[in-house]
Structure 1
């Protein structure tokens, strides 16, 4: 398979589509998307194209609050660091299989930051905040 650079809306769409194919098939995170969140993929995927375009291309395509849906899902089913580690592993696998170059490396770093920060926020909400109350 020829790896390509991550430098256009088309390349980003390919990344997102390939990644979410892995997510849907995954036994740990797949059910979170399909059963708990009951994701409407025709609505979710364009949002993810816009989110990653904003990060990668800097085009401000995404307008929203990306953490909020995770809070809502977490109220139905506790999201753990295992979920975020799997999400990151699938994302990293997709990136390394299909993309090359400096932008792909930067996107890997950004995805790692997102997974770490969101995992820590939810871990705090799920554990520490309740223990203090």
Structure 2
């Protein structure tokens, strides 16, 4: 499959968190997005230092991660905050790294052709970037393009309010993704 072409068409997954999401579309999205990351002047060197030239294990892991987030199933069982801490120890990360990541993520999500899927994915990515940035003591890594108006209000309110210790809806409060089943109400 080429990831330069349009995303695959087909039926939405019945468990999808937003219309326009399915396992083949998530595979396309992850590969297309990380193809851009690899070529990016700011982000490419960070990933190259960590992954070398063999990106396939990373891509497989990220497909599993986003399948879990978007479809509520998958085999992902990692600790992404710990990985990002390790990366930051070897290559200082800045808010600009996070902003660039979010901008490329949003551009790629828009190509899915489903505004609802793009909003869902970029909203989750923005919340994770915010959580990771806070945990890594990096200035808030916001891409306003990645946040919907209601998400912008929630982020602003959280920044103005004192910390309560309540778990984050995406990560469970510890920077690690909580299982989607535990987020359903």
TM-score range, shorter chain: 0.7 to 0.9
Range with bigger deviation, 38-47 or 21-30:
38-47
Greater than 3 Å deviation, 4+ residue runs: 1-6
What pairs with 1:1-133 in structure 2 (closer than 5 Å)?
Answer: 6-34=20-48, 36-39=49-52, 40-123=54-137
Q: What TM-score do the two structures reach when normalised by structure 2?
A: 0.61
Q: Could you tell me whether the CA contact under 8 Å between 2:21 and 2:70 is conserved in 1?
A: yes
3-state SS, counterpart of residue 92 of structure 2: coil
Structure 1 CA distance for aligned equivalents of residues 124 and 59 of structure 2: 19
Structure 1 gaps, min length 5: 125-133
Q: Could you tell me whether the CA contact under 8 Å between 1:16 and 1:45 is conserved in 2?
A: yes
Range with bigger deviation, 91-100 or 78-87:
91-100
Q: What TM-score do the two structures reach when normalised by structure 1?
A: 0.84
Q: Please report how far the alpha carbon of residue 101 of structure 1 lies from its aligned counterpart in structure 2 after TM superposition.
A: 3.7
3-state SS, counterpart of residue 70 of structure 1: helix
Range with bigger deviation, 61-70 or 49-58:
61-70
Higher relative contact order (CA 8 A, sep 6+): 1
Count of residue pairs brought into register by the alignment? 123
Range with bigger deviation, 78-87 or 98-107:
98-107
Q: Please report how far the alpha carbon of residue 2 of structure 1 lies from its aligned counterpart in structure 2 after TM superposition.
A: 6.0
Structure 2 gaps, min length 5: 10-18, 139-185
